[in-house]
Chain A
């Protein structure tokens, strides 16, 4: 079946531009996560949705970062006024339903969007 997809796969932005990164989770998956991965580092948590509700945004590095999932399916991560330090791979992951399996639930990751800010 189809996995998690992300678009675009690569994005080059000039400093100060706004960018929007899209995530299509696995159909029927209730939980959705965004992670940021800097070069040579492990992914770091940004934010979490349960359906359309954003339950945790504690990992968003600044108020320039905004995520939404208005219909509980597709999610968009928006970065306003991009800075060079925003250059990273942005990963999206989905899982069936944390409320039933909790910390045993497997997360399925997309291939990521590689963002380069010049």
Chain B
């Protein structure tokens, strides 16, 4: 499976935008980029996914580089409830549906 690289941790202030980067230089043409997050003491939850074009939903935006070797999850206005571990995951090829999690980025939001 193609690997992703994320910073171990990031910090933000409440109501400010947050940009969470992810590098995936070995991504293949059929790999989708998925983001999940895990709040404390909960199971992971889906945030957003995309293939080539930028994507928006009610939770976040996903910006994908033109060469697809990196992507950025954007939280437009961080709240205290957004404090979580964010995982960038590639899905495709022979991995069918199983998710391969890395270490993720621990996001701390300050009031």
Contacts and interface: CB of A to CB of B under 8 A. Distances in A.
A1 interface: no
B43 A42 contact: no
Nearest to B49: A104
Contacts, number: 64
A91 to B, nearest CB: 5
B87 A42 contact: yes
A72 interface: no
A42 B102 contact: yes
B109 to A, nearest CB: 20
Interface string A15-38: 000000000000000010101000
Contacts of B96: 48, 56, 98, 102-103
Nearest to A55: B96
B97 A48 contact: yes
B42 A42 contact: no
B91 interface: yes
A51 to B, nearest CB: 14
Interface in A41-59: 41-45, 48, 56, 59
B39 to A, nearest CB: 10
Nearest to A40: B103
Given A103-B92, A103-B96, A107-B97, A91 B43 contact: yes
Contact of B98 (A4, A48, A104): A48
B92 A109 contact: no
A93 B43 contact: yes
B60 to A, nearest CB: 14
Nearest to B97: A98
Interface of A: 4, 31, 33, 35, 41-45, 48, 56, 59, 91, 93, 95, 98, 102-112
